[in-house]
């Protein structure tokens, strides 16, 4: 039966008035019958409404998702295959780039996840020349333009002693991504200059940090202060330590962590 029709019947149904001459026992019997009839009709209406809700319930359409997720299935195997390929090649740009192009020849889209994993594997193995080759190849394809790739490439330049290339890359990153460069990338460049005794370069990068309002970490502050000291500018050394080092530090004393005041002038 149609739920709407049941509801119409129930709403239009009017019970006749009870005669006054009926005894009380008969009146109570009639009242109980009316109650059962109304409950029965109400139950049918509710069940019909529930059925209509079930019928009109929306079914989620999975085809409506317009975004496309990059498939990472098998990326680990692809990354290991890439590491094996480049490790067996001579240290020649043409040979390496040709092998990398063959590695992606049958891919419908660039395997960015696999290439990034391969880059991290080469980094852990300290194969810095291969890291540089793979990272440069990725960037030449317009892929991997991330701060993580730049950080890995700067580290590889540092470890391979290629300071000039690091400076070229840093200048490009600073020009394009000036307002979005993270603190760790500034720290990476300052560490590179520190490893190769280029104090003026350290101070220049530190000046860019101050101009952009990026607060350096404690290790970077110590390196810059040491650079000012080596250049004979003790006033700026003291100023950097006082401005950026916190007033307090924590040490372990008798198995407990104790807060003590820092001696900034001593670089403590």
Quote the pLDDT of residue 67. Answer: 40
* 100: its two tokens: 């990398």
- In degrees, rounded to 5, the angle at the alpha carbon of residue 123 between the alpha carbons of residues 152 and 214 is 25
How does pLDDT run across 137-174, given as a tens digit for each residue?
999 999 989 999 999 999 999 999 999 999 999 999 99
Tell me the pairing of strands 248-253 and 256-261: antiparallel
Taking the whole predicted model, whether its pTM rises above 0.85 is answered as: no
How does pLDDT run across 16-58, given as a tens digit for each residue?
555 554 455 544 554 555 545 555 555 554 555 455 555 555 5
Q: Cα dihedral angle (43, 44, 50, 52), rounded to 10 degrees?
A: -160
How does pLDDT run across 190-207, given as a tens digit for each residue?
999 999 999 999 999 999
Residue with tokens 């129930």: 10
CA distances from residue 182 to 144, 146, 177, 213 in whole angstroms, order as listed: 16, 11, 10, 11
| Confidence check: pLDDT of 124 > 90 | yes
The dihedral sign for the CA sequence 166, 167, 168, 169: positive
Quote the pLDDT of residue 230. Answer: 95
| Span 146-261 CATH architecture | Alpha Horseshoe (1.25)
Residue extents of the structural domains in the chain = 1-14+30-46, 73-125, 146-261
Give the three-class secondary structure for 143. coil
Quote the pLDDT of residue 106. Answer: 85
């Amino acid at each position: 039966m149609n739920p709407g029709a049941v509801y119409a019947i129930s709403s239009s149904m009017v019970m006749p008035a009870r005669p006054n001459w009926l005894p009380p026992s008969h009146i109570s019997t009639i009242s109980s019958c009316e109650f059962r009839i109304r409950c029965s009709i109400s139950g049918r209406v509710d069940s019909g409404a529930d059925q209509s809700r079930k019928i009109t319930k929306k079914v989620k359409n999975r085809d409506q998702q317009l975004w496309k997720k990059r498939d990472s299935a098998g990326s680990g195997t692809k990354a290991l295959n890439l590491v094996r390929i480049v490790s067996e090649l001579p240290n020649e740009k043409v040979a390496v780039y040709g092998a990398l192009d063959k590695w992606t020849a049958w891919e419908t889209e660039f395997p960015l996840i696999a290439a990034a994993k391969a880059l991290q594997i080469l980094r852990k193995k300290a194969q810095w020349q291969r890291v540089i080759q793979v990272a440069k190849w990725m960037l030449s394809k317009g892929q991997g333009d991330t701060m993580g790739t730049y950080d890995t490439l700067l580290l590889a330049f540092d470890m391979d002693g290629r300071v000039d290339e690091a400076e070229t890359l840093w200048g490009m990153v600073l020009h394009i991504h000036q307002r979005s460069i993270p603190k760790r990338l500034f720290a990476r460049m300052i560490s590179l200059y520190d490893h190769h005794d280029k104090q003026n370069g350290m101070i220049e990068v530190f000046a860019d940090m101050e101009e952009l309002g990026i607060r350096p970490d404690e290790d970077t502050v110590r390196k810059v202060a040491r650079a000012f000291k080596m250049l004979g500018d003790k006033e700026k050394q003291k100023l950097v330590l006082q401005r950026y080092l916190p007033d307090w530090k924590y040490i372990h004393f008798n198995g407990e962590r104790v807060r003590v005041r820092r001696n900034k002038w001593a670089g403590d």
